[in-house]
């Protein structure tokens, strides 16, 4: 029923894997990254996931265990398993646990692309018949509509075509309409001047609309981090017809680079309603949204419906804080890859400033936003991780402490961040707080994951306790 790009969920903390997958699959697929299984496990319950990648090595858990859990809970979703040590036992164990394919790490781009395309093609194959039936029904409907329009056409339409055929020049020749009924010929004689004037007026309206849309290109802004905000012509639009209408517009705006089938909107916002009621509710909501937008910009048409799809007018440029956030983050990654972390940190800091709160905090109970909210939060945590790492290396320990605490507020099982906090506190002379961070780490890992700290964390604690840590900075 949907023409959306395939959604691939990647559970892998490895930055190198992320870069490879994003560059190879990110253009034609919607790729969502989550570094650990704890936050990823519930996502397929609220989002449509087509394919899952799971790494053999994860933060705080084994990938093979997560693979077994996913196949038990979501048996219809195919899973590709990434193996760092492709022994015969490891591969056999992965297939026995339900993996569709096994790929060796580090990832080979060609193998990744070929394997993914093969599985996605199989998935699409199962949906082909249903899709063809829907398209056939829609085409039949369109054909009937075109026949009806061809038989009628309308007087003004014929006059307009005649006018355009003559290159916009006036014509005194009515002969070309002699095959029309007598009433039509008489009507043409009466309305000839009116029609020409009407054409001029219509052209003026079109010109005004084009100018209006051009003027909007730098004035339409969408803010998704924190509470949703939409700014048009320096005016914040907040008089939405309903909470559902606001969320619906946010959905269309967030996906402004693609067309969205009406059925997808119906399934997303009225999933438990019969099709006729859902279609009616969608029409009412969109009508109310259009009224709000036209009140701010009367000459502009923002939401277009064509070929069973809704989409934003492509002539209207949309600035989005999420788009900006991702753009700056990717630029920072490229800079770090080529020049190192110290050169990239300013871009990471710019991206962090844009993240003013979680994605659509005021729409937290809308299922459609859950997966993107989690994915954007994970990107934000990666950014804070990079910045705090640089701060520790640069002896900005107080700043590093603040960032590490932010990370733990959103993911309190990050053992590596506890170690960084322990080091930062120790280096500013607060050994007691460093030891308390270790104790907190032990409690959280036991309560949340039922595991003990790693030998690396315990070794650091022993050094702090004896006050025998040799610092490198």
- Residue 156 tokens read as 């003004």
Q: How confident is the model at residue 155 (pLDDT cuts 50, 70, 90)?
A: very low
The fraction of the chain above a pLDDT of 90, given in percent, is 42
188 SS3 class: helix
Q: How many CB atoms lie within 10 A of CB 251?
A: 20
Tell how many helices (H) and how many strands (E) occur in the chain: 17, 14
Q: Is the pLDDT of residue 121 over 70?
A: yes
How does DSSP classify residue 174? -
How many Å apart are CA 160 and CA 130, to the nearest integer? Answer: 41
β pairing state of 319-320 and 235-237: unpaired
- Please give the angle made by the CA atoms of 138, 142 and 145, to the nearest 5 degrees: 140
Q: Is the pLDDT of residue 243 over 70?
A: yes
pLDDT of residue 74: 86
User: For the sheet containing 260-261, what is the strand order?
Assistant: 260-261, 309-312, 303-306
How many Å apart are CA 156 and CA 191, to the nearest integer? Answer: 9
Burial environment of residue 360 by CB neighbours within 10 A (0 to 12, 13 to 18, 19 or more): buried
* Residues in the chain, overall count: 473
pLDDT of residue 232: 85
Q: How confident is the model at residue 467 (pLDDT cuts 50, 70, 90)?
A: confident
- Express each pLDDT in 285-307 by its tens digit: 999 999 998 888 876 788 999 98
- Express each pLDDT in 55-111 by its tens digit: 988 865 678 888 888 888 888 899 999 998 888 788 888 888 888 899 999 898 888
For 26-41, what is the mean pLDDT? 79
Contact status, residue 8 vs residue 274, Cβ threshold 8 Å: no
pLDDT of residue 212: 47
| Residue listed under structure tokens 């007026």 | 201
pTM of the model: 0.60
The pair phi, psi for residue 227, each rounded to 5°, is: -80, 140
How many Å apart are CA 315 and CA 453, to the nearest integer? Answer: 55
Helix%, strand%, coil% for the chain, nearest 5: 60, 10, 25
- Residue 194 tokens read as 């009116």
């Amino acid at each position: 029923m949907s023409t959306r790009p395939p959604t691939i969920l990647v559970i892998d903390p490895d930055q190198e894997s992320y870069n490879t997958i994003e560059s190879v699959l990110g253009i034609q697929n919607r790729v969502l990254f989550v570094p650990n299984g704890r936050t990823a496990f519930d996502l397929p319950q609220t989002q449509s996931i087509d394919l899952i990648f799971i790494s053999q090595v994860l933060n705080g858990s084994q990938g093979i265990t997560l693979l077994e859990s996913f196949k038990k809970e979501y048996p219809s979703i195919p899973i590709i398993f990434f193996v760092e040590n492709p022994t015969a036992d490891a591969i056999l164990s992965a297939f026995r646990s339900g993996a569709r394919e096994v790929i060796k790490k580090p990832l080979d781009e060609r193998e990744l692309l070929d394997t993914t395309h093969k599985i996605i093609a199989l998935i699409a194959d199962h949906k082909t018949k249903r899709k063809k039936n829907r398209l056939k029904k829609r085409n039949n409907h369109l054909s009937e509509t075109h026949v009806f329009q061809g038989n009628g056409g309308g007087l003004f339409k014929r006059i307009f075509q005649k006018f355009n055929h003559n290159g916009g020049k006036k014509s005194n020749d009515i002969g070309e309409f002699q095959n029309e009924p007598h009433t039509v010929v008489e009507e043409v004689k009466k309305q000839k001047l009116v029609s020409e004037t009407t054409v001029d007026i219509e052209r003026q309206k079109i010109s005004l609309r084009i100018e209006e849309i051009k003027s909007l290109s730098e004035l339409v802004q969408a803010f998704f981090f924190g509470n949703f905000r939409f700014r048009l012509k320096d005016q914040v639009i907040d008089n939405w017809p309903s909470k559902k209408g606001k969320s619906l517009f946010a959905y269309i705006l967030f996906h402004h680079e693609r067309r969205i089938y009406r059925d997808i909107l119906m399934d997303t916002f009225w999933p438990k309603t019969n099709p006729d009621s859902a279609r009616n509710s969608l029409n009412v909501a969109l009508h109310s949204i259009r009224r709000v937008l036209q009140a701010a910009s009367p000459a502009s048409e923002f939401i277009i419906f064509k070929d069973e799809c809704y989409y934003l007018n492509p002539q209207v440029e949309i600035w989005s804080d999420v788009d900006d956030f991702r753009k700056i983050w990717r630029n920072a990654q490229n800079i770090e890859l080529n020049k190192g972390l110290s050169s990239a940190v300013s871009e990471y800091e710019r991206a962090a400033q844009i993240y003013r709160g979680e994605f659509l905090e005021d729409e937290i109970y809308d299922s459609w936003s859950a997966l993107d909210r989690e994915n954007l939060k994970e990107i934000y945590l990666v950014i804070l991780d990079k910045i705090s790492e640089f701060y520790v290396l640069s002896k900005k320990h107080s700043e590093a402490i603040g960032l590490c605490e932010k990370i733990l507020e959103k993911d309190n099982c990050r053992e590596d961040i506890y170690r960084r906090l322990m080091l930062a506190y120790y280096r500013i002379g607060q050994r007691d707080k460093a030891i308390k961070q270790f104790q907190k780490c032990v409690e959280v890992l036991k309560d949340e994951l039922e595991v003990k700290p790693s030998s690396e964390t315990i070794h650091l604690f022993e050094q702090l306790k004896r006050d025998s840590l040799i610092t490198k900075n």
